[in-house]
Amino acid sequence: MKRAVYINEEGLLHDLYCNNRISNRKYTLWNFLPKNLWEQFRRLMNQYFLLIACLQLWSLITPVNPASTWGPLIFIFAVSAIKEAWDDYNRYLSDKKANEKEVWILKQGIRKPIQAQNIRVGDMVWLRENDEVPCDIALLGTADPQGICYLETAALDGETDLKTRLIPSACTGIDAELLPKIKGVIECPAPDKDIRRFDANMRLFPPFLDNDICPLTIKNTLLQSCFIRNTEWACGVAVYTGNETKLGLSRGVPEPKLTAVDAMIDKLTGAIFIFQIVVVIVLGVAGNVWKDTEAKKLWYVRYPKAGPWYELLIIPLRFELLCSIMIPISIKVSLDLVKGVYAKFIDWDDKMVDPETGTPACATNTGISEDLGQVEYILTDKTGTLTENKMVFKRCCINGRFYGNETGDALADLELKDAVYCGSENVILFLKVMAICNTVIPVKSKNGLIAYKAQSQDEEALVRAAAHLHMVLLNKNGNIIEIELYGASIKYELLDVLEFTSDRKRMSVVVKDCRSGNVVLFSKGADETILPRARAEQQTRNFAEAVEQYAQLGLRTLCLAYRELRDNEYKEWASMFKEANSVLVDREWRVAELCERLEHDLEIIGVAAIEDRLQDGVPETIETLRKAGINFWMLTGDKLNTAVQIALSCNLVPPAPKGQLLIINGKSEDEVGRSLETVLLTIRRTDSEPR
């Protein structure tokens, strides 16, 4: 269900949507006892102890005082309940701290401090540098003249690189003093937990904008738990609050976790209980037979001639109680106490500290720490985890000519420098794509130096390499991109951005030369998405060979291309693209379809190769994990040859003859199945196992 968020309309939405109070608690004061007892009695071992305790209440069969069983049972359940209550209390304190944090909102042009829990949908929220975003916000203004806000999303997605967020085009040029006076409406979808997607439309009322629709995407939003960085202030309207934010919907209700040790004990309890039943049946039958045949002959026993209907159960149940000590009732409380203690050992370990930030380890759940010792598989990404995530431009192939192969560094290649100096058309085009086809923001410091702010390390590496070769990205002012070649300024108007997605594996920009008026499409991306879109007459074999050569060296590769567009072709496409960006349903699919319409008949210019070196100690760490019996898997979107070279260099795949590389490849279930069969045959022939 869609929601309409009215900007600066105080009180209009307060009764429609929830406030910003968050709650990660598992229990309340009213449901703690029944809910906790229910969770404890879900375990087979606890059900067994309860059964024994109930049998102890029958004075005819119990050999001991019932208090001797009920006392320990109540104690161990109380210990477990106290541990759960303590964990939940810590969650409550964390929620309380977040809910009572001071934030600022704009009311009638005045900044007013309130508690974060009192933010309502439609409120204008004012954030300062290093503030945590208290709810999901549609960005409307920032201190940056270009409308940029830098965001740290590590708490949301684990990525440490700063993200750039932009104000919508409709808000460009609106001064900070006018933000509290903005009137309009944002039409957005119902709350969901997809942190990479937000498809909405905004309409500002006159005099700001005459009801024109302005599309909003995830690039125009600040999500809860992110931090404002390198931005003096940012301002936006709350669209999702409380547990309806994307993060709030992702949290869910904490589920009780059963560790491997707990599961093993439950299985052993079941097995012992079955053994007890067998023993009880055998001894019970023997006891009843003896009673009927021998005991009644003894004059001093005085058995009644006719007993109650349950007479045959008395002796077996007595044996059940006598055998109950096979499962010690203290095992549960002992485990709970031990779990709490070694969770504290993790907190107190002064060697488990992040050397860069000084952040210590923290066991947030005292019940599952022992599962760390049960890890059999570690799955890791490559970039930024195994590697330094510091991209360096190393080699390139432009129009079939290789640069940097002899020196190992294209930026030091004299032949490439001469080509730039002489104005080689293909080389200049290659550098233009590197400098323009990106989302990098140039920031000029007071001393005149230019710093580049980029979401993608690849893009920053390309822009820096272009600048090193005298194609400098100088400025992005609104839609005007200014580059400089040997002191000569070149300006382009940015018309559209065809954003990178994991499905497209490429990004493009449509720009207009401010001098000639020509409209050009610049594209860059993976070889499997760029090379097949080359114009039919162009030979791409040299570029494919360059990609394979660079992949063998473990380098990341990007293919660069361009296409000149006719005016009528672009105008027709731009109209459809604007319409696709304004729909709320299937926006992503429609935009992708229109991107396909434009990205064809490309002129391939060249291939760029980028190095991302391994972090220190990675091979030794992987070797240690393998010796511990842990399987280590690397997940990457790189080409196969690049992935293999990285795997060899980080000791993930031991070099021959110790290691044997077996490749299972395919794009469908059938292809993978056939490839797997081939690998299994190879293993049988060589009588070895892949590592």
Q: Which residues of 593-607 are buried (b: 16+ CB within 10 A; e: fewer)?
A: ebbeebbeebbbbbb
Q: How far apart, in whole angstroms, are the C-alpha atoms of residue 666 and residue 680?
A: 15
Whether 514 and 480 have beta carbons less than 8 Å apart is answered as yes
Buried b (16+ CB within 10 A) or exposed e, 615-630: eeebeeebeeeeeeee
**What DSSP string runs through 260-292?**
HHHHHHHHHHHHHHHHHHHHHHHHHHHHHHHHH
Any idea what DSSP says for residue 552? H
Contact 614, 388 (CB under 8 A): yes
Read off the tokens for 434: 């590197």
Q: Which residues pair with 675 in a beta bridge?
A: none
Tokens of 679: 């690998």
Contacts of 4 (CB under 8 A, 6+ apart): 185, 186, 187
Q: Are 604 and 559 in contact (CB under 8 A)?
A: yes
Distances from the Cα of 492 to the Cα of 306, 435, 442, 488, 606, angstroms: 107, 11, 15, 13, 22
Catalytic residue among 292, 381, 567, 586: 381
396, 430 Cβ separation under 8 angstroms: yes
Alpha helices in 294-360 (DSSP H): 311-323, 330-348
Q: What three-state secondary structure class fits 200?
A: strand
Bridge partners of 495?
none
Distance between CA atoms of residues 99 and 641, nearest Å: 50
**CA distances (Å), origin 405, targets 238, 402, 452, 553:** 53, 7, 28, 11
Strands 377-381 vs 631-635: parallel, antiparallel or unpaired: parallel
Coil vs helix vs strand at 511: strand
Active site residue 527: no
Residues marked active site are found at 381
